[in-house]
Amino acid sequence: MADFKTLWDNFPDKDAVAGRCFNKQKGGQQPFDNYCAILLSECLVRSGMTVDRCPGTKCWSHEGARHVLRAEDLAAWFDKSPPEGFGARENVAPAEFQKRLSGRTGVVFFKDYWTRGNERFASRSGDHIDLWRRNEITGGGMFYRSLIEMLGLVSDLNKSREIWFWEVS
C-alpha cells in the first residue's frame, strides 16, 4: 500500500517515460499523444504497486512493467477494485470539483472534457487521470490552469461530463 506522499514523490517526468514508452503502430503518434495514464501507471509501479491486473490496453514498446494507456481503463479498474489505500470512488459534480476536493489528496479522473481530432464538443471523448494534491494536479495549481483555460490553451476541467475521485491519505 502506498500513501499519497509516496505517490506524489514517485510521479515521473514525462520526457523520461516518453523515451521508453512510445507508439510503434504504423502511422501512430510517436510518442503517444496522451501520457496521463502512462504516467500514473509508472507512478504506481515506482510506489510498489502493480498494474498487471488492470484489464485495459497496455504499452508494448519496452521490457518491464506495462503501463496502462487509457485514462478510462485505469479509472474503470480503480472503480471495480480500488488499490489498497484508495477510498471508494466519489462522483463529484464538475462545477463543484475544486470546492469539493480542496484540501484533499487522491486520484482524480476527468471524463470527456476535451475534444480529440475532429470531434465536436458535444461528442468529446478526451479524458484525464492524475494525482490531486489539495488544489492542484501534477501539472500545476488550479489558479494557473484557470488562466490558461481562459486563453483557450487547454480545455476546461469544469466541463467534464463526470469527475471521479479516490481519496488517498
Paired strand residues for 167: 106
The predicted-structure confidence for 40-65, as pLDDT tens digits, reads as follows 999 999 999 999 999 988 887 666 66
Q: Residue 104 and residue 99: Cα distance in Å, rounded?
A: 10
106-161 pLDDT, tens digit per residue, is 999 999 988 888 989 899 898 999 999 998 899 765 555 465 456 554 567 888 99
pLDDT-derived band at 66, boundaries 50, 70, 90: confident
Contacts 24+ apart (CB under 8 A), 121-128: 124/161, 126/34, 126/155, 127/36, 127/70, 127/71, 127/72, 127/75, 128/36, 128/71, 128/157
Q: What residue numbers bound the domain in which 36 lies?
A: 4-167
Q: What is the CATH number of the domain that holds 30?
A: 3.90.1720.70
The pTM (predicted TM-score) of the whole model is 0.87
Question: If pLDDT is split at 50, 70 and 90, which confidence band does 5 have?
Answer: very high
Q: What pLDDT sits at residue 31?
A: 58
pLDDT of residue 63: 67
Residue 94 grid cell: 464538475
Average pLDDT, the chain: 86
Instruction: For residue 92, name the pLDDT band (cuts at 50, 70, 90).
Output: very high
Helix or strand or coil: residue 142?
helix
pLDDT band, residue 34 (cuts 50/70/90): confident
Structure confidence at residue 116 (pLDDT): 85
Q: What percent of the chain has pLDDT over 70?
A: 81
Count of domains observed in the chain: 1
